[in-house]
Amino acid sequence: MLDTTNQFSLYQKKILLGITGGIAAYKTPELVRALIKEGATVQVVMTQSATQFVTPTTLQAVSGLPVYISQWDNRISNGMPHIELSRDADLILIAPASADFMAKHSLGLADDLLSTLCLARGHEVDGAIKDCPLVMVPAMNRQMWEHAATQRSVERLVKDGVTLLGPASGAQACGEVGMGRMLEPFEILDGVIAFFQPKLLKGLRVLITAGPTYEPIDPVRGVTNLSSGKMGFAIAKAALESGAEVHLVSGPVSLPTPLEFTGKVNRTNVQTAKEMMHVVANSPCDVFFSVAAVADWTIKNRQAQKIKKTSEQSSPILEFELNPDILATIAQSSINQRPFCVGFAAESENIEAYAQQKRIKKNIPMLIANHGPSTFGQDSNQVSIIDELGIFPVEETNKLAIARVIVAELAKRLRP
């Protein structure tokens, strides 16, 4: 049984949250609670201007730890809070990161506790002091974000290895609309969790199909299935966390695009199996996850207008024809163009035996046997990973945790 323990948490991670002056600071208590809920310990350090927007008392209450503001704070025994505070941190997260703070750090300027701490940041790894990772979440007016000086700061920060999350586009406190809005706490949480995931698929292009397809009978009726798309979207999120560039081809579902703010995911919405086949066939990739529950048949005699029901009329006769087999088509590509194909099979009986037969028939290296239909639409799942070496059950748990296990097992086979 493959283990999924702590696949979706920040268990035992120590995060130093730096808060700078900006109206978006009002979101930070919610962010602290979200990080703690995922298992992290959060130490807050604020600039003096940040205290104009949210109080240290509030942040101390939600974090359970004292909040630091001054580099002269005598609660640190050696008088060096700018050194000591980062030494046991796994990550320094600046949210919100103002234009002023980003510019200062990009130039190596330091005149308060938080800016000095970021320059002196380090944490102990195997007895040695190494740079503590630094993530900034920009938040400012759209004109401030678009200003050439801010963009120069961004270039310098990225060149120096600082990770930026966002900003997003949307309504701002000033009443304007545009880029510069800080990500919401749940998005920052997703970004932090993704930051800690091993980059097992870095540099690879991953194509994923997800959800059901819908085959119209007439303009208001159609044939579909019970797929919610949740497993495919979880695979997409796990692949993004692992450093891949993801193209997500989705049937009709209402799920939000995973980690959209990273800019590394391209989503194409389709309806029918033929539409999905067209997109997949024209999307080069290194890895193909065929997760979608594609309709086996389409309606050959589709009607242009709604079929009317009358008391004299018998039931309409529907003519079916086979849809293209997307997975088999991609798996039969020429050797030079063929991606590593991972199929999914939802069975109601003899799950592993039928899935192994399907893997061999379609000539693919890996197949995931979905223990459906009881898990359709649910947030949890139970699967088995099947390849030429055997059958490897994964314990029932959250679909994202399972997706991370699948990605890790895939990486072992791609890059032994």
Per-residue pLDDT of the chain (416 residues; tens, 9 = 90+): 666 665 557 989 999 999 999 999 999 999 999 999 999 999 999 999 999 999 999 999 999 999 999 888 888 777 777 877 888 899 999 999 999 999 999 999 999 999 999 999 987 667 777 889 999 999 999 999 999 999 999 999 999 999 999 999 888 888 888 889 999 999 999 999 999 999 999 999 999 999 999 999 888 888 888 889 999 999 999 999 999 999 999 999 999 999 999 888 999 999 999 999 999 999 999 999 999 999 989 988 888 788 787 766 677 888 889 999 999 999 987 666 789 999 998 776 777 788 888 888 888 999 998 876 666 667 888 888 998 888 888 888 889 999 999 999 999 988 76
Q: Is 289 annotated as a binding residue?
A: no
All domains of the chain in start order, with CATH: 14-196 (3.40.50.1950), 205-414 (3.40.50.10300)
Partnered with residue 414 across adjacent β-strands are: none
358 annotated among ligand-binding-site residues: yes
Q: 316 among the known binding-site residues?
A: no
Cis peptide bond upstream of 393, omega within 30: no
Instruction: Indicate which residue of 132, 174, 285, 341 is catalytic.
Output: 174
Q: Residue 333 and residue 312: Cα distance in Å, rounded?
A: 51
Amino acid letter, residue 103: A
Cα–chain center distance at 29: 23
Annotated active-site residue 174? The verdict is yes
